[in-house]
């Protein structure tokens, strides 16, 4: 055997090894291999090892794990004409590798662009207060809309999260003033309610004193006694007042005896 035959045999062996290595494909548990044969879709295979026909078959590997991407900051004009910048994140996964390859040219880019337009459309229909207080509900709504559009592509939108809402400095100051005014309003309401309750009790006490002159007189004497104690004075009553006090004492004693019985 000459050198030429050996050289040709070596080349043939290298070509054979190259063809065999290109025919053997291995995909991991979280991957699938989409195969086209002469331009026609054969299907998705994996996980594990399988063979394709070199040159005839085309192999595309698709990752099935959840992928997260940040939506570029979007300038949104809310329903009440307030301009805000919104940051969001989208989480999605491929559930049908064949559709993800056949139905859309670049499913990652398409999902990203769709997320941007959907974010602006949904948030542009709500007022600023709702955007600030109902982020979770709005995120869920955006996710549902995205999932509806991406389902034919074999893409499942797992979640959408509105991360941050940025506003102009003038708007922040206006919101702070509004919050301060709201707190002052609540404080005044609480004070007014307290005064109303106190007025009701005073009115009830006045009515009770009107019905019982002796009770009113007793209250007057209690007030005089308190003043005298503070000023170190002696309270002197007239005979009529003393009689009234006696009547009060008798009335209190009668009530006590009634309770004992």
Report residues of the chain scoring pLDDT below 50.
Answer: 239, 241-242, 251-252, 255
The confidence score (pLDDT) of residue 143 equals 95
Q: Which residues pair with 48 in a beta bridge?
A: 27
Q: How far apart are CA 109 and CA 128, in angstroms?
A: 29
Which two three-digit tokens encode residue 211?
């019905």
In the numeric block, the tokens 């090894």 are attached to 17
Q: How far apart are CA 116 and CA 120, in angstroms?
A: 6
The confidence score (pLDDT) of residue 33 equals 93
User: What is the DSSP pairing of strand 40-45 with strand 48-51?
Assistant: unpaired
The confidence score (pLDDT) of residue 253 equals 53
The confidence score (pLDDT) of residue 171 equals 67
Query: Are 112 and 146 spatial neighbours (Cβ–Cβ below 8 Å)?
Result: no
The confidence score (pLDDT) of residue 42 equals 92
| Coil, strand or helix at 167 | coil
Which two three-digit tokens encode residue 168?
């102009």
210 exposure class (CB count in 10 Å sphere: 0-12, 13-18, 19+): exposed
Predicted TM-score (pTM) of the model is 0.63
* Segment 205-216, tens digit of pLDDT: 667 666 666 566
């Amino acid at each position: 055997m000459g050198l030429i035959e050996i050289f040709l045999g070596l080349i043939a062996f290298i070509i054979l090894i190259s063809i065999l290595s290109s025919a053997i494909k291995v995909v991991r548990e979280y991957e699938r291999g989409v195969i086209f044969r002469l331009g026609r879709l054969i299907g998705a295979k994996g996980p594990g090892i399988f063979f394709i026909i070199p040159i005839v078959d085309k192999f595309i590997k698709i990752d099935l794990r959840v992928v997260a991407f940040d939506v570029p900051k979007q300038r949104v004009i809310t329903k009440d004409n307030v301009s805000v910048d919104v940051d969001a994140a989208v989480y999605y996964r491929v559930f049908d590798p064949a559709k993800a390859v056949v139905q859309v040219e670049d499913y990652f880019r398409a999902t990203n662009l769709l997320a941007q337009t959907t974010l602006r459309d949904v948030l542009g229909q709500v007022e600023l207060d709702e955007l600030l207080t109902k982020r979770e509900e709005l995120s869920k709504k955006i996710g549902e809309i995205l999932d509806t559009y991406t389902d034919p592509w074999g893409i499942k939108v797992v979640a959408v999260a509105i991360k941050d809402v940025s506003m102009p400095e003038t708007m922040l100051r206006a919101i702070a003033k509004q919050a301060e005014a709201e707190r002052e309003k609540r404080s005044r309401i609480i004070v007014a309610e307290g005064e109303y309750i106190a007025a009701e009790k005073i009115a009830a006490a006045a009515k009770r004193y009107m019905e019982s002159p002796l009770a009113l007189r007793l209250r007057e004497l209690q007030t005089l006694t308190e003043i005298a104690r503070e000023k170190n004075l002696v309270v002197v009553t007239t005979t009529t007042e003393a009689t009234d006090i006696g009547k009060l004492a008798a009335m209190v004693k009668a009530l006590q005896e009634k309770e004992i019985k």
